[in-house]
Amino acid sequence: MRKRMSLILGCFLLLQVLAGCSSSETAVTNKPNDQASQPTQPTGKEMVLNWNADGGEPPTADPGLASDGTSFDVITACFEGLTRYGPDGKIANAIADSYTVSEDLTTYTFKLKTNALWSNGDSVTAHDFEFAWKRNLDPKTASEYAYMLYFIKGAEEFNTGKGSQEGVGVKALDDFTLEVKLNSPAPFFYELTAFPTLFPLHKKTLEAHPDWAASPDNYVGNGPFKMELWEHKNKIVLVKNEKYHDKDAVKLNKIVWSMITDTNTAQALFDSGDLDWGGHPSYVLPVDVIPALQDEGKIVMAPYPNTVAVTFNTTMPPFTNKKIRQAFSYSIQRQPLVDGIVQTGVPAAFAWVPPSMQLSGNDYFQEDVDKAKQLLAEGLKELGLSTMPEVTYTYGSGDDRQKKLAEALQDQWKRSLGVDVKISGLEEKVFLQNKRAKNYQFAYRNWGADFNDPINFLEIFKDKTVGTNDAAWENDRYRELIVQSYLEKDLTKRNAIMREAETILMEEMPIAPVYYGARPYIKNDKVKGFLINPFGGRDFKYTTIEQ
């Protein structure tokens, strides 16, 4: 069945493009880190990983509500979906024991393992998946990633209030058989089932304890680890889940997760041996240490298609005006930012979808200060303004690179446009909340692939109601093209449709790309088997530490 699915995927996706980075750098080279204030050392044969939560306190540990990497890391350690990335970095069955696909590629039938248990000893059933997916689609849940389920028949209608829960095409045929009906062929759907929004949930726990995900007392999962302690804004402790169906593959006894927000402090703790992992995804390497580490050959780049950009709140003046958004984008001198701040040789970005997905030539627009000045003047005139009003650019204060990027952009906009931009660093959780609530003017944005398809970058702008559409931008023609791409089976035609959509996006400029993926970390030879998959997810299941 796996061979058959590979052929199906090959007909639709650019899997060949990213296969190179998924096979060789994903699983075996590195390791996790943990704690900071009170590092835990192994005692006897106990294997403990000291890790740090990038950005500090995870905003949530609920698979249906999470939208950030730190939360996803905790959740992936404690839960498991139908599929999971294996130690070779390739997607494989997990809770699913097998699956079949209908001839028209729109109906998936998953047979579940019968020995999979929740951490409280209950059986994991198909009903848990049906409950979780419909719960995450329920408008009352307000899941930002609900759109990841829109490929399922009736899912978008239910989530947007135009349909019913009963109309959603996911059904437990019996305790261990799950049937999923799609709107149209989605060859990446099997891969998508490894994403946290599609994890199962323990219905009785959620119904009895609405705040179940806020503490270990009621945190029932089905993954390799379970939560033992959560001292909010201090640390999380995960321990091996002895009821996990594949527990023999799990060698770590404990992960101690610190919440250090200052990257220089985190780096010092790694240097002293109190953290087991340096850099991504435990924390962002401080800009000042990168040159020396590169000279020593200690930097490793984690493969990950992602784009760093400036996002504009298109509901808040003056960024309601397209020309002003264009002016701020065209006036950015990207290469100096890459050379001086990122320092890892990544390319400057002139498209939203990363080049590795081969959708465009990364050439939708050019830097042009003179044109930017002209566009700014025209935009202000259209808004009836004689001068640029006060504007504030916000970023996550725990990330040294975000801070330096903000300062550099502030300087560039002053020199090129004559605009005084205020910059404001916010604690990561507050920063994310403000963006989701559209309580900002323009800000730092980093979007990485959740699965291997350009649509993952483009569909977040399909509607302004999409939870991850921080720009609150939408366009009728753009929406039509995204829907067309869902239905088009011919790969060449589908890519052409998505290129047309991206052309509109880069013309309207609700998002200004700056540079592509930079995920450097420091190799630690003692940590083995830590998986960084090519689409951003991380997994501690196979991690070991040499004593």
CATH code for the domain of 71: 3.40.190.10
Q: Is the dihedral of CA 538, 542, 546, 547 positive or negative?
A: positive
Q: What percent of the chain has pLDDT over 70?
A: 91
User: 11 lies in a domain?
Assistant: no
Residues 101 and 230 in one domain: yes
Q: What is the mean pLDDT of the chain?
A: 89
Closest CA to 247 of 80, 110, 393, 126: 80
User: Rounded to 5 degrees, what angle do the CA atoms 103, 174, 150 make?
Assistant: 55
- Bridge partners (DSSP) listed for residue 48: 254
Query: Residue 386 burial by CB count (10 A; 0-12/13-18/19+): exposed, middle or buried?
Result: exposed
Residues 347 and 456 in one domain: yes
Which of the two residues, 473 and 54, has the higher pLDDT score?
473
Judge whether residue 55 has pLDDT over 50.
Answer: yes
pLDDT band at 513 (very low <50, low <70, confident <90, very high): very high
Q: Where are the beta strands (DSSP E) in 464-537?
A: 511-516, 520-522, 527-528, 531-532
Closest CA to 349 of 340, 337, 341, 304: 337
What is the tally of structural domains in the chain? 2
Cα separation, 457 vs 357, in Å, equals 10
Any idea what DSSP says for residue 443?
Answer: E
Q: What is the DSSP string of 381-440?
A: HHTT-SSPPPEEEEEETT-HHHHHHHHHHHHHHHHHH---EEEEEE-HHHHHHHHHTT--
Residues 358 and 500 in one domain: yes
* CATH (domain of 349): 3.10.105.10
Cβ atoms of 156 and 143 within 8 Å: the answer is no
Among 235-239, 376-380, 477-481, 522-526, the minimum mean pLDDT is found in 522-526
Residues 121 and 202 in one domain: yes
Where in the sequence is the domain holding 57, given as residue range(s)? 48-261+524-545
Tell me which amino acid residue 146 is: A
Residues 305 and 443 in one domain: yes
Question: Tens digits of per-residue pLDDT, 384-410?
Answer: 999 999 999 999 987 888 999 999 999
Residues 213 and 345 in one domain: no
Torsion angle of alpha carbons 328, 331, 336, 337, nearest 10°?
0
pLDDT at residue number 44: 55
**391-396 and 442-448 strand pairing:** parallel
Mean pLDDT of 441-450: 92
Q: Which two tokens stand for residue 254?
A: 């404990």
SS (H, E, C) 140-184: CCCCCCHHHHCCECCHHHHHCCCCCHHHCCEEEEECCEEEEEECC
The SS3 call for residue 271 is helix
The SS3 call for residue 185 is coil
Closest CA to 309 of 451, 411, 409: 409
Q: Give 3-state DSSP helix, strand, coil % of the chain, rounded to 5.
A: 35, 20, 45
Cα separation, 258 vs 526, in Å, equals 19
Residues 56 and 177 in one domain: yes
Judge whether residue 16 has pLDDT over 50.
Answer: no
Residues 308 and 205 in one domain: no
pLDDT at residue number 192: 93
Closest CA to 130 of 222, 198, 190: 198
Residues 80 and 188 in one domain: yes
- Which helix (H) or strand (E) element contains residue 293? helix 290-295
pLDDT band at 536 (very low <50, low <70, confident <90, very high): low
Cβ atoms of 349 and 307 within 8 Å: the answer is yes
pLDDT at residue number 547: 73
Which of the two residues, 302 and 540, has the higher pLDDT score?
540
Cβ atoms of 51 and 39 within 8 Å: the answer is no
Cβ neighbours for 244, distance < 8 A, ≥ 6 positions apart: 80, 117, 222, 223, 224, 225, 250
Q: Which two tokens stand for residue 216?
A: 């270990």
Residues 325 and 199 in one domain: no
Residues 464 and 331 in one domain: yes
User: 20 lies in a domain?
Assistant: no
Q: Give the number of other Cβ atoms within 10 Å of residue 498's Cβ.
A: 25
Judge whether residue 12 has pLDDT over 70.
Answer: no
Residues 235 and 360 in one domain: no
User: 274 lies in a domain?
Assistant: no
Question: Tens digits of per-residue pLDDT, 154-169?
Answer: 999 999 999 999 999 9
Q: What is the DSSP string of 65-106?
A: T--SHHHHHHHHHH---SEEE-TTS-EEESSEEEEEE-TTS-
Any idea what DSSP says for residue 26?
Answer: S
User: 292 lies in a domain?
Assistant: no
